[in-house]
Every structure is written in C-alpha cells, then in structure tokens.
Amino acid sequence: MTAMISATDLRKTYGKKRALDGFTLSVDEGTVCGLLGPNGAGKTTAVRILATLLKADSGNASIAGHDLTTDAGRVRAAIGFTGQFSAVDEILTGRQNLDMFARLYHLDRRQARQRTDELLDRFALHDAADRPAGGYSGGMRRRLDLAVSLILAPRVLFLDEPTTGLDPRTRAEVWTDIRELVSAGTTVLLTTQYLDEADHLADQIAVIDSGTIIARGTPRELKESVGGDRIELALRDEEQTNAAARIVAAATGTDPGIDLHRRRVSAPAPERFHSLSTTMRQLHEAGIDPEDVALRQPTLDDVFIKLTDREEKTA
C-alpha cells in the first residue's frame, strides 16, 4: 500500500507551548485514520499543518507523494479540508456558498453549477439550498462544510471534528457520507474526541497526547491491548456483591474488581462464554440472582483511560 499521508517528526511551538512534539504518522491510501486525543493534544495543529494552512517549525511531511514545503501547490490540489469551526458564509445561501467556492477553485460557470447541484443532492441540502446558511441547523452547516471540501473530489480529506455538536442521527448520516467517500478511494484523516466515532469509521487509530502519538493500531488491536472480554455483574446489595466476587474469582481464576458502592463486580473472562456460564451456574447454586449480567468487550474508552493513566504516571 502507498502512504497518502506521511509525516515525520513534526514540531510546532506557540511561544513556549509545544503543540506538536515529534509527530510521526503514516496513512495508507483509501483508509481512514482517526486521530484521537483530549483537548489541547495537538490534533488541530497537526491537521492544519498537513493541510498547508500552518507551517511546522521542523520535520517533514508529504501528501499524495508531494512534499509539503517544496510542493505545497500540488498538495493543495490533492486535498480537501473541513475545519473544526464552520467556514460557510452565513449571508449567502447554501447554493451560493458552493458556487462561490467552485468558482474560487476555477471551475467555469457551467461546471460550478453542475457540481453545486450534485453536492446539494448528495448532502440532502436541496430543499434548503436557497435559504441563507445563517439559518441552517448545526447539522446542515456541517454538511455544507463537507460539501464545500468535496468540490474537487479530493484524494485526501482532512476533517477536524466533523461531527462535534451534531445530534446522533445527523452524526450517523455524516459517517455514512464519509464511508462513501472512502469506498470511492479517498483517504481520510479525521480528528475526534468521540471514541465511538473512531471505532465506527477508522481503519487505524492514532492516539495523540501532548503533541506526540502515544498509541497506534486498529480499533481491535487497541482494545485487545487493554485485555480481552470481561464479565460484568450488578448485584442487589453489598453482601451479594462480596459473595459474587468470591464466586467470580473461583470460576474465572482471576482477581475481580469490586465496586461495593455501585454493587458491581468485573473480571476478565479468559474463556468468554464458558467463563460466563460457569460463573452463572455457581451464582445460581449460591442463590444469587444478579440484576444485570454482561460479557463486554473493552471499549476505546478503556484504552483511552488506560493510556492516559500511564502517561500521568510516567510524566
């Protein structure tokens, strides 16, 4: 596979603040890389540098094989960018916004009109096309933003928090749009603070903290790095919680976590359903009937919490 985005040891400081501190990343063609990290981690800085909107202090990067510093024009021709904050002109209508950007990208009048129509259709904005964008809902604005970044069908698309502030249904629609683009061959680097978004969309996830990538892998690999499936039980009272914990320990051969206050027991399930059924049988024999039982895969939340914990300890 070819790397469509390649960055090596990018550094950027704002005054004394190190926003990027040796940022290295490579994204294969036709894949989605989710750049995940807490507020201030350096996500926007990284994406703005890669999209030629900001200069790094040092380091190298290339997009679609074009060097970011020596070939910025070619990089710009290959990319689309949707920023964290909306770039639509509120006074213009949706249609006028698209048309204006299309003309800025040197499409002629006829091409611009045609592309505008296609994009209004694709992003279900036809009905609102002739209303000023200032009156659009957050979701409609985001879709218009996305549409603008797609006027030239970019090979590489940078999306900075594409769904922040959207309701769950609109988020799901934006996810579908992004997936369609990727199946047509676009490479996407998207930043997000939503772990489920990265889980749904990303082929690879890079976790960034303090300007550096601290973990990298598929969603599955990252989840496996914090351990396999777990049994989780909710009990009626403290006494049953303690009793259940002893049974779980014996049934799974592991050391369960106990939260007496919330009356919960959680333990690794090395043999998954077998561990669960053994546990359930022994609980039943002891006359314990849990209020809730689950065999749960680790989530990216677990990954995130664990990584951040480790960071704090080594910091």
Ligand X SMILES: Nc1ncnc2c1ncn2[C@@H]1O[C@H](COP(=O)(O)OP(=O)(O)OP(=O)(O)O)[C@@H](O)[C@H]1O
With respect to Mg ion, which residue has the nearer C-beta, 47 or 307? 47
Residue 34-73 contact track with Mg ion, rule CB under 5 A, x = bound: ---------xx-----------------------------
Q: Confirm if 82 and 52 have CB atoms less than 8 A apart.
A: no
Structure tokens at 211: 């300007």
Q: Helices marked H in the chain — which ranges?
A: 43-50, 72-78, 94-104, 109-122, 138-149, 168-183, 195-201, 219-225, 238-252, 272-285, 300-314
Which residue from 137, 124, 139 is spatially nearest to 171, judged by alpha carbons? 139
Position among 39, 110, 287, 315 found at the interface with ligand X (CB under 6 A): 39
Count of chain residues binding ligand X (CB under 6 A): 13
With respect to ligand X, which residue has the nearer C-beta, 205 or 267? 205
Restricting to residues 167-226, which ones interact with ligand X according to CB under 6 A? 193
Q: Confirm if 32 and 182 have CB atoms less than 8 A apart.
A: yes
Choose from Mg ion, ligand X, none: what does 230 bind? Cβ within 5-8 Å by kind.
none
With respect to Mg ion, which residue has the nearer C-beta, 160 or 232? 160
Phi, psi of 247 (to 5 degrees): -65, -45
Restricting to residues 7-36, which ones interact with ligand X according to CB under 6 A? 14, 17, 19
With respect to Mg ion, which residue has the nearer C-beta, 32 or 47? 47
Which region, judged by CB under 6 A, interacts with ligand X, from 25-33, 43-51, 178-186, 197-205? 43-51
- Count of CB atoms within 10 A of residue 201's CB? 24
* Residues linked to residue 294 through DSSP beta bridges, in sequence order: 232
With respect to ligand X, which residue has the nearer C-beta, 45 or 240? 45
Residue 71-110 contact track with ligand X, rule CB under 6 A, x = bound: -------------x--------------------------
Compute the least distance from the CB of residue 54 to ligand X, in Å: 9
Choose from ligand X, Mg ion, none: what does 285 bind? Cβ within 5-8 Å by kind.
none
Structure tokens at 83: 């920023």
Which whole-number Å values give the CA distances from 155 to 62, 210, 213, 292, in the listed order?
13, 29, 24, 47
- Count of CB atoms within 10 A of residue 220's CB? 11
Compute the least distance from the CB of residue 201 to Mg ion, in Å: 17
Compute the least distance from the CB of residue 23 to ligand X, in Å: 10
Residues binding ligand X (CB under 6 A): 14, 17, 19, 37, 39-45, 84, 193
